[in-house]
Protein backbone atom coordinates (compact mmCIF):
# COMPACT_ATOMS: atom_id res chain seq x y z
CA UNK A 1 0.00 0.00 0.00
CA UNK A 2 1.38 3.41 -0.91
CA UNK A 3 1.11 6.44 1.30
CA UNK A 4 -0.37 9.60 -0.12
CA UNK A 5 2.16 12.39 -0.41
CA UNK A 6 1.62 15.30 1.96
CA UNK A 7 0.25 18.40 0.26
CA UNK A 8 2.40 21.43 0.82
CA UNK A 9 0.99 24.47 2.55
CA UNK A 10 0.25 27.81 0.92
CA UNK A 11 3.27 29.41 2.58
CA UNK A 12 5.53 26.61 1.32
CA UNK A 13 4.15 27.16 -2.18
CA UNK A 14 4.79 30.89 -1.76
CA UNK A 15 8.46 30.17 -0.97
CA UNK A 16 8.73 28.06 -4.12
CA UNK A 17 7.05 30.75 -6.21
CA UNK A 18 9.33 33.44 -4.78
CA UNK A 19 12.45 31.38 -5.51
CA UNK A 20 11.27 30.65 -9.05
CA UNK A 21 10.72 34.40 -9.59
CA UNK A 22 14.27 35.10 -8.32
CA UNK A 23 15.67 32.46 -10.68
CA UNK A 24 13.68 33.89 -13.61
CA UNK A 25 14.97 37.39 -12.79
CA UNK A 26 18.54 36.04 -12.62
CA UNK A 27 18.16 34.40 -16.03
CA UNK A 28 16.39 37.36 -17.67
CA UNK A 29 18.35 38.62 -20.66
CA UNK A 30 20.94 35.85 -20.46
CA UNK A 31 21.67 33.56 -23.35
CA UNK A 32 20.67 29.93 -22.99
CA UNK A 33 24.34 29.06 -22.50
CA UNK A 34 24.78 31.61 -19.70
CA UNK A 35 21.48 31.03 -17.92
CA UNK A 36 21.09 28.80 -14.90
CA UNK A 37 18.97 25.88 -16.09
CA UNK A 38 17.13 23.34 -14.00
CA UNK A 39 19.61 20.79 -15.34
CA UNK A 40 22.59 22.76 -14.01
CA UNK A 41 20.88 23.15 -10.65
CA UNK A 42 20.07 19.42 -10.62
CA UNK A 43 23.71 18.55 -11.30
CA UNK A 44 24.89 20.76 -8.43
CA UNK A 45 22.32 19.30 -6.05
CA UNK A 46 22.89 15.74 -7.29
CA UNK A 47 19.16 15.31 -7.94
CA UNK A 48 17.07 14.98 -11.09
CA UNK A 49 15.90 17.89 -13.22
CA UNK A 50 12.36 16.76 -12.45
CA UNK A 51 13.00 17.16 -8.73
CA UNK A 52 14.25 20.71 -9.33
CA UNK A 53 11.08 21.41 -11.31
CA UNK A 54 8.99 20.04 -8.45
CA UNK A 55 10.65 22.48 -6.03
CA UNK A 56 10.34 25.49 -8.32
CA UNK A 57 6.72 24.77 -9.24
CA UNK A 58 5.54 24.16 -5.69
CA UNK A 59 4.96 20.40 -5.80
CA UNK A 60 7.67 19.76 -3.20
CA UNK A 61 8.47 22.09 -0.30
CA UNK A 62 11.92 23.65 -0.26
CA UNK A 63 14.44 22.52 2.33
CA UNK A 64 17.57 24.23 3.68
CA UNK A 65 19.96 22.37 1.37
CA UNK A 66 18.04 23.14 -1.81
CA UNK A 67 17.28 26.72 -0.81
CA UNK A 68 20.87 27.41 0.24
CA UNK A 69 22.42 26.05 -2.92
CA UNK A 70 19.97 27.74 -5.27
CA UNK A 71 20.38 31.06 -3.47
CA UNK A 72 24.15 30.77 -3.75
CA UNK A 73 23.97 29.91 -7.43
CA UNK A 74 21.94 33.02 -8.23
CA UNK A 75 23.77 35.24 -5.75
CA UNK A 76 20.97 36.14 -3.35
CA UNK A 77 20.38 35.63 0.38
CA UNK A 78 17.95 32.85 1.28
CA UNK A 79 15.92 35.30 3.35
CA UNK A 80 14.83 37.08 0.15
CA UNK A 81 12.49 34.17 -0.57
CA UNK A 82 12.34 32.21 2.70
CA UNK A 83 13.03 33.78 6.09
CA UNK A 84 12.06 30.41 7.60
CA UNK A 85 14.81 28.51 5.78
CA UNK A 86 17.31 31.32 6.35
CA UNK A 87 16.70 30.90 10.09
CA UNK A 88 17.10 27.13 9.77
CA UNK A 89 20.40 27.56 7.93
CA UNK A 90 21.57 29.96 10.66
CA UNK A 91 20.69 27.34 13.30
CA UNK A 92 22.64 24.71 11.36
CA UNK A 93 25.60 27.07 11.15
CA UNK A 94 25.60 27.37 14.94
CA UNK A 95 25.35 23.61 15.45
CA UNK A 96 27.99 21.42 17.03
CA UNK A 97 31.12 21.55 14.83
CA UNK A 98 32.02 18.03 15.95
CA UNK A 99 29.34 16.52 13.71
CA UNK A 100 31.28 14.88 10.87
CA UNK A 101 30.44 15.63 7.25
CA UNK A 102 31.61 13.46 4.39
CA UNK A 103 31.40 15.46 1.22
CA UNK A 104 32.95 15.73 -2.20
CA UNK A 105 33.57 19.12 -3.83
CA UNK A 106 35.67 22.04 -2.63
CA UNK A 107 38.09 24.72 -3.57
CA UNK A 108 41.45 23.04 -3.11
CA UNK A 109 44.45 24.94 -1.76
CA UNK A 110 42.62 27.12 0.74
CA UNK A 111 44.93 29.89 2.00
CA UNK A 112 45.28 29.67 5.76
CA UNK A 113 47.43 32.81 6.15
CA UNK A 114 44.44 34.52 7.72
CA UNK A 115 44.18 31.70 10.24
CA UNK A 116 47.83 32.09 11.14
CA UNK A 117 47.29 35.82 11.81
CA UNK A 118 44.60 34.89 14.34
CA UNK A 119 47.00 33.09 16.67
CA UNK A 120 46.57 34.49 20.14
CA UNK A 121 43.13 35.84 19.22
CA UNK A 122 41.21 32.58 18.95
CA UNK A 123 40.44 29.86 21.43
CA UNK A 124 42.05 26.43 21.04
CA UNK A 125 38.62 25.00 20.20
CA UNK A 126 38.08 27.60 17.44
CA UNK A 127 41.54 26.99 16.03
CA UNK A 128 40.98 23.23 16.00
CA UNK A 129 37.64 23.65 14.20
CA UNK A 130 39.25 25.89 11.57
CA UNK A 131 42.08 23.40 11.08
CA UNK A 132 39.56 20.59 10.56
CA UNK A 133 37.75 22.69 7.97
CA UNK A 134 41.06 23.44 6.25
CA UNK A 135 41.95 19.73 6.17
CA UNK A 136 38.57 18.81 4.66
CA UNK A 137 38.90 21.59 2.07
CA UNK A 138 42.40 20.54 1.07
CA UNK A 139 41.20 16.95 0.67
CA UNK A 140 38.35 18.12 -1.55
CA UNK A 141 35.71 16.89 0.86
CA UNK A 142 33.45 19.95 1.08
CA UNK A 143 30.12 19.81 -0.74
CA UNK A 144 28.13 22.79 -1.91
CA UNK A 145 25.84 22.49 1.12
CA UNK A 146 28.88 22.67 3.42
CA UNK A 147 30.07 25.81 1.66
CA UNK A 148 26.64 27.38 2.11
CA UNK A 149 26.80 26.69 5.85
CA UNK A 150 30.36 28.07 6.07
CA UNK A 151 29.36 31.18 4.14
CA UNK A 152 26.44 31.64 6.55
CA UNK A 153 28.80 31.44 9.50
CA UNK A 154 31.18 33.92 7.86
CA UNK A 155 28.35 36.35 7.13
CA UNK A 156 27.09 36.11 10.71
CA UNK A 157 30.57 36.78 12.08
CA UNK A 158 31.08 39.70 9.71
CA UNK A 159 27.77 41.15 10.86
CA UNK A 160 28.75 40.76 14.51
CA UNK A 161 32.12 42.36 13.78
CA UNK A 162 30.51 45.45 12.23
CA UNK A 163 28.23 45.87 15.27
CA UNK A 164 31.16 45.98 17.71
CA UNK A 165 32.55 49.43 18.60
- Chunked into runs of 10 residues, the chain (165 residues) has average pLDDT values of 81 96 95 92 92 96 92 92 90 59 32 53 74 76 79 75 66
Q: Where in the chain is the domain with CATH 1.10.260.40?
A: 10-93
Report the C-alpha gap between 37 and 18 in whole angstroms.
17
Cβ atoms 81, 22 nearer than 8 A: yes
What pLDDT score does 55 carry? 97
Cβ atoms 73, 36 nearer than 8 A: yes
What pLDDT score does 106 carry? 32
What pLDDT score does 116 carry? 54
For the domain made up of 10-93, the CATH class stated in words is mainly alpha
What pLDDT score does 95 carry? 67
Write out pLDDT tens, residues 84-110.
998 888 888 776 454 333 333 333 333
What pLDDT score does 89 carry? 84
What pLDDT score does 118 carry? 56
Furthest-apart CA pair in the chain: how many Å?
Answer: 62
What pLDDT score does 123 carry? 73
What pLDDT score does 36 carry? 93
Cβ atoms 93, 152 nearer than 8 A: yes
What pLDDT score does 103 carry? 32
pTM over 0.85: no
Closest by alpha carbon to 74, among 110, 34, 46, 32?
A: 34
| Alpha-helix residue ranges (DSSP H) falling in 37-143 | 38-45, 49-56, 64-74, 83-93, 113-117, 124-138
Amino acid sequence: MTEKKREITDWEKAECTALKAKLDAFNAGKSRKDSLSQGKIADALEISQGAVSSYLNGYNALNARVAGLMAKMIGIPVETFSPRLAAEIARIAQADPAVPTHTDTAPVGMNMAALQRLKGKVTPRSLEALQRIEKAALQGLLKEADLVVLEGIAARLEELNTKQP
